[in-house]
Amino acid sequence: MLANRKLLTMETRDIGIVMNGVTGRMGTNQHLLRSILAIIKQGGVHINPDLTLMPKPILTGRNSNKLASLAEGMAVREIGQKLPYTTDLPGAIAGKHGECEIFFDASDTLRRVEFVQMAVEAGRHIYCEKPTATNTADALKLAKLVENAKLKNGVVQDKLWLPGFRKLAMLRELGFFEKILSVRGQFGYWVFTGLGLDQPAQRPSWNYRAADGGGIIIDMFCHWQYVISNLFGPIKSLVAYGSTDLPKRRDEQGNIYDADADDSAYAIFVLEDGTVCQFNSSWCTRVRRDDLLTVQVDGTKGSAVAGLRDVVVQSAAETPKPVWNPDIPQPIDFFRGWQTVPDNIEYDNAFKVQWELFLRHVALDEPFRWSLREGAKGVQLAELGMQSWRQKQWLDVPAL
């Protein structure tokens, strides 16, 4: 009798989400497969024994066949049911193809403003990929639009939930570093030009064309902005230099094109408390480090090197004493003097963790601080980086 009464009060609240640009790399792998379908597969977001949030995606894009293969192929394989899909984006946003509370966009960067604006006009909550725009004015315009319309909004800042960065945050909270002196980020790997035999490019070609919203500065500085400000503190000023190292590449259709966007960038960010953060980003570098992104933090009482998942640490007491002497083989094995930080919890997919927080924000009004305004700060940092490079000068970061 009691059990029956309990069953009656259990609620599964459906949340309609238009997922746009879902046939792309990020849309398919991180947002549909590893986030939304994974959430559906686990039975939704369990809030409490009486309430579960269940995402109800509608897939949108330009190519019906590609959408069908996700909505009828991947979805059936993953969750045992088909998903609705349509090429009619305005109709989907208007709710003609099913309930829609949230508009999500992972299309390429250039179209973000137009799509988000359309969804704001229809009163949908907004969640989208970074960068939110290719310039600060547009990014800020979007932030103000959603704020004025009092819509819930968020931007993907997935790196914050990578195990490596969670562990850095934990070390900092534990006081492991004492005073953090400097941070060094090394990001990148070799992205094939597609010009060589049997070495096809592994990233979409628009990323290497300036007119299509490409460029490593607009791509990566958005990440560095939220990584640095959340882990180490607000950025006061920066100096940056970019370069187009490989000016010719081959696109998805096999055509050779002018890759005129910056494909490597070098920046120093100085934080309000004086901490120096230098970040190298490159699609033209071969990896000889622990991971595709590594961040070394040097503090007075200890240092740490974070990869995407693992972090190693060396405390003051374990620090060896190197002596400069190139006449003998190096007597110290520098890689051995580090300890691995254990996995004390199970880390879920970073995109999925943020999706769950956003769904809770929409349904339950829980706080969610990774807003379009925060996203605009990333675009601002990228724009200032390009300006610093062009003008060959240090620039301060104005408050947004």
- Quickly tell me which residue has 């490159």 as its tokens: 282
Binds ligand NAD by CB under 6 A, chosen from 25, 46, 144, 289: 25
Binding mask 216-255 for ligand NAD (x = CB under 6 A): ---x------------------------------------
Give yes or no for residue 106 binding ligand NAD (CB under 6 A). yes
Binds ligand NAD by CB under 6 A, chosen from 108, 245, 260, 310: 108
- Residue count, binding to ligand NAD (CB under 6 A): 22
Residue type, 310: D
Q: Nearer Cβ to ligand NAD, position 14 or 260?
A: 260
Contact window for ligand NAD (CB under 6 A) among 23-31, 317-325, 365-373, 378-386: 23-31
Give yes or no for residue 130 binding ligand NAD (CB under 6 A). yes
Region 184-213 residues binding ligand NAD, contact defined as CB under 6 A:
204, 206
Q: For residues 382 and 221, is the Cβ–Cβ distance under 8 A? A: yes
Q: Say how far apart CA 198 and CA 196 lie, in whole Å.
A: 6
Q: Please state the separation of Cα 121 from the chain's center in Å.
A: 26
Burial of 211 (0-12, 13-18, 19+ CB in 10 A): exposed
Burial of 305 (0-12, 13-18, 19+ CB in 10 A): buried
Q: Nearer Cβ to ligand NAD, position 95 or 204?
A: 204
Q: How many CA atoms lie within 13 A of 104 on its CB side?
A: 29
Helix (H), strand (E) at residue 349:
none
Binds ligand NAD by CB under 6 A, chosen from 21, 57, 307, 375: 21
Binds ligand NAD by CB under 6 A, chosen from 35, 109, 264, 294: 109
Q: Say how far apart CA 374 and CA 380 lie, in whole Å.
A: 10
Binds ligand NAD by CB under 6 A, chosen from 41, 46, 62, 390: 62
* CA-to-CA dists, residue 269 to 45, 140, 223, 262, 350, angstroms: 38, 22, 13, 19, 25
Q: Nearer Cβ to ligand NAD, position 48 or 65?
A: 65
Q: How far is the CB of 35 from ligand NAD (least distance, A)?
A: 11
Note the residue count of the chain: 400
Contact window for ligand NAD (CB under 6 A) among 9-17, 24-32, 173-181, 263-271: 24-32
- Contacting residues toward ligand NAD, per CB under 6 A: 20-21, 23-27, 61-62, 106-109, 111, 129-131, 156, 158, 204, 206, 219
